[in-house]
Structure 1
């Protein structure tokens, strides 16, 4: 079907080859990979292997400010939030529920310049955080900011909402300087998910790291 769609008997082989390349869909790494060297066809040996298979990184490590991390989502095997925060692996949690939180409590309050969280990875692209906000707790009482006309979106327990995960599973942004030093940053889940959740990248950039 594919060849009959693009090839014509009056075209040259090279022309048809270029035409097929325009419509052929490629995935890196490939969606399916042959395991072993023996084919299901009698007597055939399959030695081909996608060069990209197994080489796409599943997480991206960063150096983050020292913090105590707590996960309200049960982790799978060794894929803990602590190890993900240290850049050793990715976090993989089971079925987030409404009210679940991933909490980063900094050893010393910090000025957060930027934050970046990426959920899902190359092998499990659907394991994202959905309907989840990024919230920070300043050292000072957050209610003071609401009365000061800053226009911050506050939670009922005094956190300030500074971002949320988009459809691609990414949450990124900057924290307004007027908020001051941050004691806690958390990811707050607002609805249950049909998928597990992966955090493949965690990057909290403080004022020292931004110099």
Structure 2
């Protein structure tokens, strides 16, 4: 006896339904409302049965056809380097949106302003609130709108999925479930809108302040990534400072909509990068964005969270040429080698230091060194200095054990009391350098903390 496969049964049933609809369309018409609704349904069903109406690229991977209301500005044909997305709702006690917009623009150079597009999605379901907020934005940032640097959009509440009576995961109160579920949809509509506007997309909240030169530091962080990535974060708080490839935004929009009623947005964002084979978040320190609000958009609860790793103005130590860092010393916690490659308060802290240990900085482009200063240990850990070691300059890049390094190294001096200083002004040794390496020459009981490596370029 032949057993029919489910797909065969489905094809036969679909054929029967399509034939039935075609036959019924030939019958007498009725002007009643039920008949009209039935004909509309039948037409939709016929479209479903017809070939050629489905495209994986557009229907499954493309930008969602969400109807947006353009309140201020419109996209132009020029793709920017970065689009910055902010979703905002009106708070009852205090609003921070205008301050956030001002912080974004005021912390960009005149040249950088042309590389950034700021998109504000007003998510109030009361359209009059959106219109009023848009007028407030226009009153202060009309020049940014006219220059094509600021767009404000919204959409109708009828495009939202069900928000009431949702299941109470994590035993959240119904009001909390509704709030976080709507917030997921807000962000989905925002990232969907930004999908074709730039190469990269940065997510912010509507109550943050920015660090100086944040775009330059984002650009440098992108340049130093050696493997493919989905998410880089420049903050330790919530949805603030999450960076994505814009090509991933349609997928992110669908991801947020698919699980909108399951969990908070920041949890979903963590699941998103894992689902794209990035097991751990890439965290760049110091943080570039700080939470400045006091009252939450949820029931005006107080929210005084602050990012302890935020630095608005970073103290410079050297010229900070773009580089990557690695070490064969096991790092403690998140005090990894790359911390030293970026300007900020973070450091490398490793354990099990042996005579074969090294710390290597690889410059993206060859540099002509003027001087080098390396500081080990810290006020909190004065014993974790390099007791015995020396520095080397490297040339001729090669790849070894998955790391870019140099083939030839030359010794340039020893460490003394945990510090090292090198001046190449009167020699040619500092020309066309590809690598800078710290070598350990004797085992030590204490761990090794490399606090700063200052590299000054010959002008």
1:75 corresponds in structure 2 to 331
Matched, 1:182 2:449: no
2:452 corresponds in structure 1 to 201
Q: CA deviation at 1:139?
A: 5.0
Tell me, in whole angstroms, the C-alpha distance in 2 between the residues paired with 1:196 and 1:96.
6
Compare the two structures and name the one with the higher helix fraction: 2
Does structure 2 retain, via aligned residues, the 8 Å contact 1:109–1:139? no
CA-based RMSD of the aligned residues comes to 2.0
- CA deviations 1:172-192 (Å, max 9, x no partner) are 111354222101110011111
Secondary structure of 1:126's counterpart equals coil
Which residue of 161, 180, 195 maps to 2:411? Answer: 161
Distance of aligned partners of 1:61 and 1:127 in 2 relative to their CA distance in 1, 3 Å threshold: farther
Does structure 2 retain, via aligned residues, the 8 Å contact 1:118–1:169? yes
Secondary structure of 1:159's counterpart equals strand
Equivalent residues in 2 for 1:104-115 (5 A)?
A: 104-115=361-372
Tell me, in whole angstroms, the C-alpha distance in 1 between the residues paired with 2:352 and 2:316.
24
- CA deviations 1:62-106 (Å, max 9, x no partner) are 351111211111111111121122133011111211111111111
What runs of 5+ residues in structure 2 fail to find an aligned partner? 1-314, 398-406
Greater radius of gyration (CA): 2
Matched, 1:170 2:433: no
- CA deviations 1:33-83 (Å, max 9, x no partner) are xxxxxxxxxxxxxxxxxxxxxxxxxxx763511112111111111111211
Tell me, in whole angstroms, the C-alpha distance in 2 between the residues paired with 1:84 and 1:104.
9
Equivalent residues in 2 for 1:40-79 (5 A)?
A: 62=317, 63-79=319-335
Q: CA deviation at 1:138?
A: 3.6
Secondary structure of 1:124's counterpart equals coil
Equivalent residues in 2 for 1:64-143 (5 A)?
A: 64-88=320-344, 89-138=346-395
What runs of 5+ residues in structure 1 fail to find an aligned partner? 1-59, 141-156
Does structure 1 retain, via aligned residues, the 8 Å contact 2:341–2:361? no
Aligned residues: 132
Tell me, in whole angstroms, the C-alpha distance in 2 between the residues paired with 1:101 and 1:107.
19
Relative contact order, CA 8 A, sep 6+: which one is greater? 1
Distance of aligned partners of 1:61 and 1:194 in 2 relative to their CA distance in 1, 3 Å threshold: farther
Distance of aligned partners of 1:116 and 1:183 in 2 relative to their CA distance in 1, 3 Å threshold: same
Which residue of 179, 185, 191 maps to 2:442? Answer: 191
Secondary structure of 1:99's counterpart equals coil
- CA deviations 1:120-174 (Å, max 9, x no partner) are 111110101121110002459xxxxxxxxxxxxxxxx7421112210x2101111
Does structure 2 retain, via aligned residues, the 8 Å contact 1:61–1:86? no
Does structure 2 retain, via aligned residues, the 8 Å contact 1:64–1:205? yes
TM-score (norm 2): 0.27
Does structure 1 retain, via aligned residues, the 8 Å contact 2:324–2:341? no
